Amino acid sequence: MKSLYKKLAAFQAEVPIVAKRTQGYGYKYADLASVVETIQPLLKKHGLGYYQSPSHEGMVTVLFDADSGEEIKSVVPMPEGIELKGMNPFQVDGSRITYYRRYALCCLLGLVADEDTDAAGEYVPKAATERTNNGKCGLPVKAYFDMLDKAQSHSFQEQKNTLKLIYGELVKRGLRSEDDMANFLDYLTKQDESSINSVDEKMRKFLLSL
């Protein structure tokens, strides 16, 4: 494996931080296209290649040395039961594969790239709508979800106010800082009626993660 490791080290010494061109929830991330665009010339330069394939194990990624035939295999488990708002099962599966291709490739090559959903919709666990008790940190998740549901049937401004109110509660509970709140408010002011539902879904995922 000496040849492959030597080439990988040379690749990592040259590869830049991948440009983060896509807007996420208050941050930017590098999507799969940006990752591939950045790494392909350097992989070719150092005689490296890779291939990926989803399997029952998860996302399989293999990095290989075209000269020696040496290879490194990585398998990242992919969860089932994912739902993305506004997508049919085929679109959801495609989005899931895209996300794990990017994630697995970045991990194997040691690239710097932020977390993202790689999807037009947002990850919504099936249990979200069935949750009736508090979250891990004692948050009244069900109550917050009810507030978000109610706001969706009202005005755009009502949705924004509800999101502000919930984030303010997170700050009061010490789960987010005042600086985080300022950044969130700045992010929220940039949203319009076409993007506010995406913010809503991201907030729901965030609440469930606490």
Left (φ > 0), alpha (ψ -120 to 50) or beta: where does 72 sit? beta
**DSSP codes, 75-87:** EE---S-EEETT-
pLDDT digits (tens, 9 = 90+) for 43-72: 999 999 999 999 888 899 999 999 999 999
pLDDT of 72 reads 94
pLDDT above 70 (res 210): no
Coil, helix or strand at residue 72: strand
Mean pLDDT of the chain: 80
pLDDT above 80 (res 82): no
pLDDT above 80 (res 20): no
Q: Nearest CA to 185 among 173, 174, 170?
A: 170
pLDDT of 126 reads 43
pLDDT above 80 (res 144): yes
pLDDT above 80 (res 125): no
pLDDT digits (tens, 9 = 90+) for 149-185: 888 877 888 888 889 988 888 888 788 888 888 888 9
Q: What percent of the chain has pLDDT over 70?
A: 79
* Contact of 39 with 28, CB cutoff 8 Å: no
* Contact of 48 with 8, CB cutoff 8 Å: yes
